[in-house]
Amino acid sequence: MSRKRKSSLKVKAAAGVGAAVLAVGIAAVTVGTSQAATENCAGLEQALANNENFIAQQQANPDAQSEARIANRQAVIDNIQQRLQAAGCQ
């Protein structure tokens, strides 16, 4: 085989591999986007209730870290509420 033919085969092989990687990447993004678009309302509502219950327990029995834990959980609740609204959950 000539040097030119060997180079041509390497270029074609590299282009094929690159195209395959691109196709897999596009498929992964598409699947991830479609899953993100369909939030599980029941799961989000359960997560919201769990975090609200945790805050209530921290308020009922506070310790030195309760304030920080409550602030953290409130941020989580705010995020869950945004996701519920974006998903159109009732």
pLDDT in tens, the chain (90 residues): 666 666 676 666 656 656 555 556 666 655 554 445 567 999 999 999 999 999 999 999 999 999 999 999 999 999 999 999 999 997
Residues whose CB falls within 8 Å of the CB of residue 51, separated by 6 or more in sequence, listed in order: 73, 76, 77, 80
Residue 54 one-letter amino acid: F
pTM beyond cutoff 0.75? no
**Do 55 and 66 meet the contact criterion of CB atoms below 8 Å apart?**
no
Residues whose CB falls within 8 Å of the CB of residue 30, separated by 6 or more in sequence, listed in order: none
**Do 28 and 50 meet the contact criterion of CB atoms below 8 Å apart?**
no
> Can you tell me the distance from the alpha carbon of 79 to that of 74, in angstroms, rounded to the nearest whole number?
9
Where do the domains of the chain lie? Answer: 1-38, 40-90
